[in-house]
Amino acid sequence: MRIEDYALIGDMQSAALVARDGSIDWLCLPRFDSPSCFAALLGGERNGHWWLGPTGRRHADRRRYRPDTLILESEWDTPTGTVRVIDYMPPRDRNPDVVRIVEGVSGTVEVSTQLRVRFDYGRIVPWVRRSNGHLQAIGGPDSVWLHSPVPLKGGDYAHRATFTVKEGDRLPFIFTWHPSHEPMPQQIDADDQLDETEAFWAEWVAKCTYDGPYRDAVVRSLITLKALTYAPTGGIVAAPTTSLPEDLGGVRNWDYRFCWLRDATMTLDALISSGYLEEAADWRSWLLRAIAGRPQDLQIMYGVAGERRLPELRLDWLDGYEDSRPVRIGNEAVKQLQLDVYGEVMNCLYVSRSRGLWPDDRAWTIQRQLLDYVEDHWDEPDEGLWEVRGPRRHFVHSKVMCWAALDRGVKYVERFGRTGPVEKWRTLRDVVHAEICEKGYDPRRNTFTQSYGSSELDAALLMIPVVGFLPIDDPRVVGTLAAIEKELLSDGFVLRYPIAEDNDVDGLPGGEGAFLACSFWLVEVMAMQGRKEEAKDLFERLLALRNDVGLLAEEYDPRYGRLVGNFPQAFSHVPLIHAARALS
């Protein structure tokens, strides 16, 4: 399957990817960052999957989400009739469930299923037994039950069944995880949970305040972002997958199942602007718990419950998606210095408060500590927004976001009556601004550059007018935008920065596709310039890159005409929402 052949289902604690042929090829339980029990996405069927569809195994003729929900419906037309499979994960009560309901739409269809459970990212073959007509698979701490309406036959470390579905038939399969030391969990009612799941999503979507011409795309993106929220804590993961490559066959394969402060703040900005303040409150509580301690110990990312140790490991027994190795779990970037996150956090908390989030004294105390850290470290080099694994540099975007942190601190005092050394922050804000304009701007080319002394460009410079560092009509902003459009466009989409053998900025071999967030940023900035028709044309080109159920990966690679990178990616759906608002 191509990356765009997958759809997402989830329960706001974990998620599964369902392929167009009816196979669930990726599922981690009980959390987003838990070891998987289906890992065919990064290996093969031997690493775990659950296929369900008409005998003969082919792509569904059509599929869709039920309107305003995360309930997936896939339909196959066969010479003898039509069959539908409904896939969903009900919002969790105690144990996570994956429900697959087979419906006979017309005629009579022969349907088959194959289940291979493989715990620990496809490595552990479980012990499987039958109990009261159901299957239980156990491996170490993990146990799953499959409640099946048809008997499954074991063989070759898999379980299979073939059965006939007639018009009006309705057969529910329920897959439930629980800790192996606990007794068998109570079986849910598939139809009751389907109704409750549909009602949950409909009620949540009804709060959306966006009513522009791109409502369907915005709502699908909002649902996707909500699905990436870890409900027990309020943390927000960047994506539900690991190691889907940014360069097919290459080494740019990272684990995104964690809570980046930057990604989370941008996600919340999109949710807040669409009427979802409750998520902001939950995330603020998560943030205060996660970063509690000394501000100098702030990390750029955490686990979904605020864990700090996220060691990066390689899973050598997995071949990787389309032979893209290594497969990684954990993320070494957790140790990086990325100064821009201070600006992202300060901006998010300021926007949340401006939109009506109630004040919190502890939050303001931590914000002041964050600004103290910015005061002492803003002039240091860092790894920057793109988490380069080359040498640290004085990235212009990082400096701009340090300015933004100070600016939001000043505005917080001015608008909300908080106490703090506001004159010192104002003075330092001006110092940072002046240095960026002196060292990060190339007057000969009339453009800001990626880093001090560099001649390269960076799509993150598009954020300069968005965060208010300079007005949209400032000649330096106009020149920067023109340079980016001239030098960073590939097939009409925006690259993050130039990648070439003589440019070792990220310290990695190989190339990559166009980072979708960057192109959405360009749409937003074009709209700010008043270039609405150009912005609209680019936006609609970007919307056309979504797969058939409205989802986006991290990047689009014009070389292959394919989506690449982890999927679905919050960092792509967030700027889609902002761009739609800018055009509306």
Is 403 within a domain? no
- Write the CB contacts of 40 (distance below 8 Å, at least 6 apart in sequence): 23, 25, 26, 47, 48, 49, 122
pLDDT at 287: 86
- Write the CB contacts of 2 (distance below 8 Å, at least 6 apart in sequence): 562, 563
State the pairing for strand pair 158-166/97-116: antiparallel
**Environment class of residue 316 by beta-carbon count within 10 Å: exposed (0-12), middle (13-18) or buried (19+)?**
exposed
- Write the CB contacts of 98 (distance below 8 Å, at least 6 apart in sequence): 9, 16, 24, 27, 50, 87, 89, 174, 175, 176
User: Partners of 97 in the beta sheet?
Assistant: 176
Sign of CA dihedral 57, 58, 64, 69: positive
108 within 8 A of 81, measured Cβ to Cβ: yes
Tell me the three-class secondary structure of 307-354, residue by residue.
CCCCCCEECCCCCCHHHCCCCEECCHHHHCCCCHHHHHHHHHHHHHHH
Q: How far is CA 563 from CA 492, 514, 546, in A?
A: 15, 9, 9
* E-assigned strand segments in 322-435: 328-329
The one-digit pLDDT tens for each residue of the chain (584 residues) are: 999 999 999 999 999 999 999 999 999 999 999 999 999 999 999 999 999 999 998 899 999 999 999 999 999 999 999 999 999 999 998 899 999 999 999 999 999 999 999 999 999 999 999 988 899 999 999 999 999 999 999 999 999 999 999 999 999 999 999 999 999 999 999 999 999 999 999 999 999 999 999 999 999 999 999 999 999 999 999 999 999 999 999 999 999 999 999 988 888 889 999 999 898 889 888 988 888 777 678 899 999 999 999 999 999 999 999 999 999 999 999 999 999 999 999 999 999 999 888 888 988 998 999 999 999 999 999 999 998 878 899 999 999 999 999 999 999 999 999 999 999 999 999 999 999 999 999 999 999 999 999 999 999 999 999 999 999 999 999 999 999 999 999 889 999 988 755 556 666 766 778 899 999 999 999 999 999 999 999 999 999 999 999 999 999 998 899 999 999 999 999 999 999 999 98
Is 296 within a domain? no
Backbone φ and ψ of 556, nearest 5°: -125, 125
Task: List the one residue out of 579, 576, 571, 583 whose CA is nearest residue 260.
Answer: 571
Q: How far is CA 471 from CA 403, 415, 527, 532, in A?
A: 15, 21, 13, 18
Is 46 within a domain? yes
| CA dihedral of 349, 352, 358, 363, whole degrees rounded to 10 | -10
| CA dihedral of 282, 288, 291, 295, whole degrees rounded to 10 | 140
Task: List the one residue out of 363, 335, 336 whose CA is nearest residue 348.
Answer: 363
Query: Quick one: how far is CA 56 from the chain centroid?
Result: 33
Find tokens 């006939």 and name the residue.
164
205's tokens:
């979507």
Domain that holds residue 100: 3-202
- Write the CB contacts of 48 (distance below 8 Å, at least 6 apart in sequence): 36, 37, 38, 39, 40, 116, 117, 118, 119, 122
Roughly what angle, to the nearest 10 degrees, separates helices 340-354 and 361-377?
150
173 within 8 A of 113, measured Cβ to Cβ: yes
CATH number, domain of 31, equals 2.70.98.10
534's tokens:
């150009």
Count: domains in the chain: 1
247: DSSP letter: S
Find tokens 């990559």 and name the residue.
512
Find tokens 């998620």 and name the residue.
15
Q: How far is CA 557 from CA 77, 500, 551, in A?
A: 32, 16, 16
As a whole number of angstroms, the distance between CA 461 and CA 483 comes to 11
pLDDT at 311: 95
pLDDT at 236: 93
As a whole number of angstroms, the distance between CA 305 and CA 297 comes to 17
- Write the CB contacts of 227 (distance below 8 Å, at least 6 apart in sequence): 8, 10, 12, 15, 70
Is 27 within a domain? yes
462: DSSP letter: G
- Three-state DSSP state, 38: strand
Residue 501, CB-side half-sphere exposure with 13 Å CA sphere: 0
Q: Exposure string (b/e) for 247-285, b if CB count within 10 Å is 16 or more?
A: bbebbbbbbbbbbbbbbbbbbbbbbbebebbebbebbbe
As a whole number of angstroms, the distance between CA 409 and CA 349 comes to 10
Task: List the one residue out of 102, 150, 122 whose CA is nearest residue 25.
Answer: 122
Considering only CA atoms, give the Rg of the chain. 24
Is 177 within a domain? yes
Q: Exposure string (b/e) for 129-161, b if CB count within 10 Å is 16 or more?
A: eeeeebbbbbbeebbbbbbbbeebeeeeebbeb
Is 435 within a domain? no
Is 355 within a domain? no
Backbone φ and ψ of 430, nearest 5°: -70, -35
390 within 8 A of 504, measured Cβ to Cβ: yes
* E-assigned strand segments in 167-264: 170-179, 229-230, 235-236, 259-260
Is 98 within a domain? yes
CA angle 514, 2, 20 (to 5 degrees): 130
- Three-state DSSP state, 3: helix
